[in-house]
Structure 1
Amino acid sequence: MTDNADRYLTAARRESTQRRYRQALEHFELVWGGLLPATSETVVRYLADSAERLSSSTLRAHLAALARWHIRQGFVDPTKAPQVRDVLRGIQALHPHMPRQAEPLQLTELSRCVEWLIAQEAGLTDAAMRGHRRDRALILLGFWRGFRSDDLCRLRAETIQIRAGEGMQLFLPSSKTDRDHRGRSFFVPALRRLCPVQAYEDWIAVTKIQHGPVFRALDRWGHLSEEALHPYSVPRILSRALIRSGVDADRFSGHSLRRGFATWAARNGWGTKALMDYVGWRDVQSALRYIEPDMPFGEFKKRSSDNGRVEQ
């Protein structure tokens, strides 16, 4: 296979997916002591030995990595054997795991965080305020567009256009659900408060970025990197801003921005179809995992009275 072919094959797979596959193979070989190529009997033993330490979703991801390795190397895929699937189903039945979800970031917490970032800019030089402006633009854009961490890190300045008084148009070249890398255009509206467009313009004003990644690493002196932020940096940036603004950050992760917007939209009357189209979800189940419903139990919903007692 030529170097060019290898380059395009690598580009076809997301960096995060490749990383997870490498980690899965390392766990199978180095941690558990398995040998490649593997047999279906070996894979069954691997699943059984790992059942109490790894969740069933993690084991499924490891099976996908093993399957891909065998197919690419020209071997029979051992994960397709009926006994492998039966053991995985048994593990799911005997070791159920409640899926962990990040808590949605509410508008009050978002406001508190952004207001603190703006207040800290007073009297700072352009270099010193870059961190505050980057974090504000990152958080507001992530919230109001419901972007994932890696979506934010893929944004490029040359594909973003500001429409005065309206908002901005941006192009995302690829995403988690865009496996064909066709890309998608998004519109971000200008808002009266907590405006992501104004935050983006403020960030560009102190960095003069015209080409390349929008969100980049900064050193302690405010010097700008040429490389895009790593997606792992987004939850750390959010957590740091929340903590410094006095918000308990332990409840939140990078997904809290996406879940926060979905919850806000649902509570403000957005229909499921409109929300799916705006965020980019392809199926209803994906959308519902992010929404925190406010169910109308009416007179049966418990409420606190003026004297602190709970009434029905």
Structure 2
Amino acid sequence: MSTLPRNVQTHSVDDYIQAATRDNTRRTYQGAVEHFEVDWGGMLPTTSEALCRYLAHYANTLAYNTLKTRLAALSQWHQSQGFVDPTKVIQVKKVLKGIRALHPAPVKKATPLAMSMLEQLDSHLNAECRSDSRGVSLRAARDRALIWVGFWRGFRSDELTRLLLQGIEESPNHGLSLYLSQSKGDRQYAGKRHRLPALNTLCPCAALDAWREMLGDHEGPVFRKIDRWGVIAEHALNPRSISRILRQRFEKAGINNAQTFSSHSLRRGFAYWAAEQRWSLSDLMTHVGWKDTRTAMAYLETLHPTFQQPT
């Protein structure tokens, strides 16, 4: 019988099951189950009839995609607990389909961050980095790195919060290389390195290097919470806090309609800039991490109606 070395960490079956579900998905599903039980007053396990009433109750107030996600969470709960899945019953599917037909709603899109806005942010952040307040200067350095890296790499909020200091390496091409252990498109958890370009202006590498120097650590999350006294937390920012941080920063910089921005504004902003620069669709898909051509084209045509796929 083989034995493991003493220094090898072992995990339980539950640990591996937990690791198979992404953090964002886990939080979303937990919230959906709580909404069904606490907000609506439902009981689990439930029935298809109860689910139809639940959907009808919130048809006017919750978006179709939200209700669809709630059903997926309740489906997962029943399957994981060994119960028959009531979401698969045809009546439930028909009610959801009917809600989509009777309550169509335009998809809300985050405002893309334009290059002129980055320049406006740069002036604002330069001033705050020189502040005598440790908390103010630290947050300015962190936010510059967060925004610059998020924009130039087209990262999602969960990808930004998953970056680790020990995953940053100097690139032979005079930039930085960032390692992401997982992302939305990485279904096999293979991990991937992403090159961060060194630029003459609005440089993400310079912003990240400045933040790392102020941070002082060599391991742990890159982007962390900072309190009002300038104490830096050891844990990563919550992905849901990124949009709030950006809106507050944009508002302080005097950018109009700051509340229309979200973490997705970084990704959309880069895609718009790349389309303006006449990037090929394949190059943009590779850089941003899109897998489906039709999805990418629909995305780009919304941002830049004159964009044409190169032939």
Quick check: 1:204 aligned with 2:238?
no
Deviations 1:227-280 (A, max 9, x none): 111112211221222111111212211110110001110111012221111011
Quick check: 1:53 aligned with 2:64?
no
Instruction: Between 127-136 and 253-262, report the one with greater CA deviation.
Output: 127-136
Matches within 5 A, 1:1-312: 4-122=12-130, 124=132, 129-163=137-171, 166-248=174-256, 249-288=258-297, 290-291=299-300, 292-295=303-306
Which segments of 5 or more consecutive residues in structure 2 lack a partner in the other structure?
Answer: 1-9
Deviation at 1:27, TM superposition (A): 1.7
3-state secondary structure, aligned to 1:162: strand
Deviation at 1:212, TM superposition (A): 0.7
Q: How many residues align?
A: 295
CA distance in 2, matches of 1:102, 1:127: 29
CA distance in 2, matches of 1:36, 1:122: 55
Deviation at 1:109, TM superposition (A): 0.5
Deviation at 1:294, TM superposition (A): 4.3
Deviations 1:68-109 (A, max 9, x none): 011111111111111211111111101111110101010001
3-state secondary structure, aligned to 1:120: helix
CA distance in 1, matches of 2:304, 2:95: 35
Deviations 1:118-142 (A, max 9, x none): 1322364776522111110000000
Identity between Structure 1 and Structure 2 (%): 46
Change (3 A) 1:46 1:203: same
Q: Which amino acid aligns with 1:103?
A: T
Which segments of 5 or more consecutive residues in structure 1 lack a partner in the other structure?
Answer: 297-312
CA distance in 1, matches of 2:53, 2:247: 40
Change (3 A) 1:176 1:222: same
3-state secondary structure, aligned to 2:109: coil
Deviation at 1:165, TM superposition (A): 6.2
Q: Is 1:168–1:197's contact at 8 Å kept on the other side of the alignment?
A: yes
Deviation at 1:190, TM superposition (A): 0.4
Change (3 A) 1:85 1:163: same
Instruction: Between 104-113 and 75-84, report the one with greater CA deviation.
Output: 75-84
3-state secondary structure, aligned to 2:196: strand
Deviations 1:52-73 (A, max 9, x none): 1211111110110111011111
3-state secondary structure, aligned to 1:92: helix
Instruction: Between 187-196 and 83-92, report the one with greater CA deviation.
Output: 83-92
Deviation at 1:215, TM superposition (A): 0.7
Q: Which amino acid aligns with 1:27?
A: H
CA distance in 1, matches of 2:133, 2:59: 54
